Amino acid sequence: MNRLKKAWAVALAALIVCAGFTACSNGKAASGATSASTKTKAQDTLVFAAGAEPRGLDPALVDDGESTKVISNVYEGLLKYAKDSTDVEPCLAESWEISKDGLTYTFHLRKGVKFQDGTDFNAEAVKFNIDRQLSPNKTDDMPYADFVFGAVKSVEVVDANTVKVNMKTASTPFLKNLAMSLGAPMVSPTAAKKYNNNLNEHPVGTGPYTFVSWTKGQNVVMKRNDNYWGEKAKTKNVVLRFIADNSARVVALNNGEVDMIDGIDATVVSQIKSAGNKIYEAPGLNVNYMAYNTTKKPFDDPKIRKAVSQAVNVPELVASLYQGYSEPATSVLPTFMEGYDKNVKQVSYDAAASKAALAAAGVTKLHIITYSNPRPYNPINGQALAEAVQGYLTKVGVTATIDAYDWTTYKAKLKAGDYDVCFYGWTGDNGDPDNFMMLMSSDDPIMNVARYSNQEYKNLIAKGAVTPSGTERSKIYSQLETLAAQNAVWLPISHGKSLSAYRSNVKDFYFHMTGSVFFSGISKS
């Protein structure tokens, strides 16, 4: 960080601490002019407290929701989602056409847009961004590359403001993929080349906020992009603070130290409301699940996986842990999504059958890994969920050991694969069933934590991607759900409501159903 930027960040951090109190001099009230000035400065800064910090700030190199809190404000994609749905709308592309065979997309780009480093956004920049995630340029640390651009064959620059994307196969989810907060946003080619193709600590996009600083373990600071092509952000500064403990985040909100928080659960709702603050609640586009490492004995046997799943009373567990703010999952897919089939049956609770089968197979212990922080699909935290399952396993004669890790370390542990069972979840990126069901076909061990490999399943995934939306496509996803349930790849646990909280003086706060929070429209009085 250069000296000027560092000094700015330090000054802003000091302002935030000061603005949280009535005055900054020995606890006494300041003069009227100073109080008015402090109040104005406090109104110019939004402070959001999250349960974990980002893994990185390059949309091509990360796959977690915490990173999107910054990414979705610094960057933009060719398309964006509507405020209250996953319908696509123009963004950096003003319009587009699709050929009749679905193999050519022509995008007409918004003119006069600049990246935050002053360079031009144009067709060459779009080509750079897509080519960056196609072979042979794609690297192993680009988890969304195949998901977003796997069907792309090539990219052509037609002119400065027109780009043509040629497909290997038709792809029904492609347009929705282009509106996602991961993989799809456009980064500055100049910045990418400057920082050796890694913008995790140097993000440069076209969005309404620009990156200022990232103090590891503390916060990320952003400021308004006054050269933004669209409507300017209502608030000048945004600080994303990291407070891992749920109760500590609630205290910070109620004390006025922060303006908004997420990762809350049912146990703190009344505490937040009684302090005069507000709850934001919406249906969650997510699934919370337990996954088996299908490559490790004896969990490479679907009969053993089924027996372990039978030990867990999912409805009872969900009612106990989430107290009405999550619903038991009967499917991988949320109930309101295309492709959801109420007739698909997951492994049901049967402790007696579980105990008999596990005893006969000689399964007396297993190793669980989990995460220690809250997640959008599991606001309690992964350790509490693992401990609840551990209790059920004890009743069927199985001793489960639990190792819990912070989010970043947990991702590394998942990649290493040293576990029998892990806990994970997914917040939908684009509202398409492929986005959920493809997780069990991916070759990436961070995406496919069950490490499940089934050619029939992969063939159905490929078929679903090219089939137009409608009854026939829904049947394919029903088949996928049935196959996953029959093989007990996951034990789906719950679909959590989107819960967050904010102070009463915060205006126009909302969380998008994909898990992104867009700060540009938020203000406070």
* Residue-range domain boundaries for the chain: 3-63+200-262+501-524, 79-192, 286-496
What are the backbone dihedrals phi and psi of residue 190, each rounded to the nearest 5 degrees, phi first? -60, -45
Q: What SS3 class is residue 194?
A: helix
C-alpha to C-alpha distance for 124 and 106, rounded to whole angstroms: 14
302-310 and 351-361 helices, crossing angle to 10°? 140
pLDDT at 29: 40
What is the amino acid identity at position 59? P
User: For 182, which DSSP code?
Assistant: S
What is the rounded end-to-end Cα distance, in angstroms, of the chain?
32
> Assign residue 362 a region: left if phi > 0, alpha if psi is -120 to 50, beta otherwise?
left
**Burial of 510 by CB count in 10 Å (0-12 exposed, 13-18 middle, 19+ buried)?**
middle
- The most distant pair of C-alpha atoms in the chain lies apart, rounded to whole Å, by 78
CATH numeric code, 3-63+200-262+501-524: 3.40.190.10
Q: Give Cα 458 to chain centroid, integer Å.
A: 24
Beta pairing partners, 237 = 45, 223
Of 60, 514, 117, 57, the residue nearest 286 (C-alpha):
514
* Structure tokens that stand for 186 in this block: 């456009």
Let me know if domain 286-496 sits in CATH 3.10.105.10.
Answer: yes
Q: What CATH code is assigned to 79-192?
A: 3.90.76.10
**What type of residue is 226?**
D
What tokens were used for 238? 């945004």
d(CA 497, CA 394) in angstroms, rounded, equals 30
With beta carbons less than 8 A apart as the criterion, state whether 454 and 462 touch. Answer: no
> What whole-number distance in Å separates Cα of residue 414 and Cα of residue 412?
5
Contact indicator for 492, 332 with CB cutoff of 8 Å: yes
Report which residue type is found at 25.
S
DSSP H or E segment with residue 399: strand 399-405
Partners of 154 in the beta sheet?
A: 166
Q: At what angle do helices 382-395 and 351-361 cross, to 10 degrees?
A: 80
Q: Are 388 and 321 in contact (CB under 8 A)?
A: yes
| The amino acid at 386 | A
Buried-exposed string 362-400: b where 16+ CB fall within 10 A, e elsewhere: ebeebebbbbbbbbbbbbbbbbebbebbbebbeebebeb
**Residue 510's pLDDT is what?**
87
Residue located via tokens 């212990």: 365
Quote the CA–CA distance of 355 and 190 in Å, as a whole number.
Answer: 60
Separation between Cα atoms, residue 168 and residue 155, nearest integer Å:
11
The number of residues in the chain equals 525
Nearest to 427 by CA among 283, 239, 314: 283
Q: Among residues 199, 231, 206, 236, which one has the least CA distance to residue 221?
A: 236
Q: What are phi and psi of 523, to 5 degrees?
A: -140, 175
Q: Record the tokens describing residue 219, joined without a space.
A: 């916060």
Residue 65 has a pLDDT of 86
Q: Which residues pair with 209 in a beta bridge?
A: 224
Which residues of the chain fall short of a pLDDT of 70? Answer: 1-42
Residue 50 bridge partners (DSSP): 242
Going by DSSP bridges, is the β-strand pair 278-282/498-502 parallel, antiparallel, or unpaired? antiparallel
The pTM assigned to this predicted structure is 0.77
